Amino acid sequence: MKATAKLAVIALFACPAAFAEHDRPGLPMPIASAEKAALPPGSANAPWQGESLKFSLDWGLIAVGSAEMDYDTVINVDGVLCHHLVTKAKSNGFVDTFFRVRDQNDTCINVKDRTSRFYAKKIREGSYLWDEWVMFDQPARKYKGQQKDRAGNITPLEGTLPGDVQDILSALYYVRSGEMAVGKDIVFDVNTTKNWPLVVKVLRRETVKVPAGKFDCFVIRPEMRDKGIFVQKGKSLTVWVTADDKRMPVKMQAEVFIGNVSAELESYSRK
Q: pTM for this one?
A: 0.88
What is the model's pLDDT at position 45?
A: 85
Q: What is the DSSP string of 26-44?
A: -PPPTTTTPEE-PPPTTPP
Across the range 169-186, mean pLDDT stands at 95
Instruction: Note the pLDDT tens digit of each residue in 129-165.
Output: 999 999 999 999 999 999 999 999 999 999 999 999 9
Residue 10 has pLDDT above 50, yes or no: no
pLDDT classification of 225: cutoffs 50, 70, 90: low
N-terminal to C-terminal alpha carbon distance within the chain: 44
pLDDT classification of 47: cutoffs 50, 70, 90: very high
Residue 112 DSSP one-character state: T
Could you tell me the domains of the chain? Answer: 36-270 (2.40.360)
266, 54 contact by CB (below 8 A): yes
For residue 265, give the nearest of 203, 204, 218, 215 by alpha carbon: 215
What is the SS3 string spanning 126-163? CCEEEEEEEEEECCCCEEEEEEECCCCCEEEEEEECCC
pLDDT classification of 179: cutoffs 50, 70, 90: very high
Across the range 106-115, mean pLDDT stands at 96
109, 115 contact by CB (below 8 A): yes
- Best-predicted range by mean pLDDT among 5-14, 186-195, 229-238? 186-195
For residue 26, give the nearest of 202, 192, 147 by alpha carbon: 147
pLDDT classification of 43: cutoffs 50, 70, 90: confident
**What is the overall mean pLDDT for the chain?**
88
pLDDT classification of 117: cutoffs 50, 70, 90: very high
What is the model's pLDDT at position 260?
A: 81
39: amino acid identity, one letter: L
Beta carbons within 8 Å of 210's beta carbon, 6+ residues apart: 250, 251, 264, 265, 266
142, 160 contact by CB (below 8 A): yes
Residue 114 has pLDDT above 80, yes or no: yes
From the CB of residue 259, how many other CB atoms can be counted at a distance below 10 Å? 12
Residue 3 has pLDDT above 60, yes or no: no
